[in-house]
Amino acid sequence: MSQWYLDLLATGAFAKFSPARLKELYSQLKRYLLASANILDATTLFDLYQLMFYVLLLTEHDLEAKLYLDRIQDQFAGKKSQKFAVLRLMYHEALGETALAMEVLGNDSDQLQASRRLAVLAHRSGDGSGGVNVPAYVESLNFYLDLQPSDAMAWAELGDVYQSVGEYARAVYCYKEVLLQHPTAYNFFYKAGLSSYYQHLQIVRGDTPRKEMLLRGMELLQHARDCFLRAVEISESYTRGWVGVYFTCTAEFLATLLADKASAGVAAVQTFLSQTERVAALSRSRIQQLEELSTADDFERFVKS
């Protein structure tokens, strides 16, 4: 019987149980522990205490959960434990005690998993509104990534947060960290391209001096285009990537660049403009083919949707 419970813990299947089935599991496991605690080996008993702790949180038996948390703490005999820190964080989180959860973590740089969980806690606004506490979330993710820079998922999360608040250069940096580990992740080339495109719009619509605006605007638009092109190179049928290519190659900025007399004699500018004209036609053709758009009106409606 203990193996069945251990398998539940290992797979996490209990987290998907219905409320009625969770209630039944709570009763069964409680009876089993009362009858068998004295004959189980220490490792098995610890694992079953951990499972019981999770079940108690899910069934909102907060007082009993604290009792089992104390029993788990006794297993460590006062020794520092990353696992126990995570369980304490979960307990305070379940009770809505975010401040206490963060206090549990403190600044202990050894507890990677705990610091990752802190980032999840910080994602909440803390005021009950359900919103995102962006500064705390960014700070916690950066803290975690200083300790665990190989966590691609955390880099992706951080990139999405930066993009959501208009920090596009930082978002691109984060997405490139993901691509260092997953060089064929075409969706992250798309995300990097989108952030570069948004940064381009920031520059050209802002109060940047004209000369700097033209230079930086072209650099960002070219980078966005190249990211989108890399995305469709990896996945030829990735329509969103082709739409990104089309938008960068038909941007209003191109007419401004073309009309600028100072840029007319710059070889890099002329090369960029000639490339975009060719690629714009290609991207339009691929979008029409992939989405089966037979008329110009169909195409315009699609790219604007």
Return all residues near 135 (Cβ < 8 A) that are at least 6 apart.
none
What is the chain's alpha carbon radius of gyration, rounded to the nearest angstrom? Answer: 27
pLDDT score, position 59: 87
Percent of the chain past pLDDT 90, that is, above it, reads 39
**Average pLDDT over every residue of 272-294:** 90
pLDDT score, position 271: 86
User: Is the pLDDT reported for residue 125 higher than 70?
Assistant: no
Structure confidence at residue 157 as a pLDDT band (50, 70, 90): confident
User: Is the pLDDT reported for residue 130 higher than 80?
Assistant: no
Structure confidence at residue 169 as a pLDDT band (50, 70, 90): very high
User: Is the pLDDT reported for residue 117 higher than 60?
Assistant: no
What integer best gives the mean pLDDT of the chain?
83
Residue with the bigger pLDDT between 235 and 126: it is 235
**Average pLDDT over every residue of 210-239:** 94
User: Is the pLDDT reported for residue 146 higher than 90?
Assistant: no
pLDDT score, position 148: 75
Structure confidence at residue 103 as a pLDDT band (50, 70, 90): low
User: Is the pLDDT reported for residue 248 higher than 90?
Assistant: yes
**Average pLDDT over every residue of 209-236:** 94
Residue pLDDT, tens place only, 27-62: 999 999 999 888 888 888 888 998 999 899 888 898
Cα–Cα dist 92/89, whole Å: 5
pLDDT score, position 102: 61
pLDDT score, position 127: 44
Residue pLDDT, tens place only, 217-229: 999 999 999 999 9
pLDDT score, position 129: 42
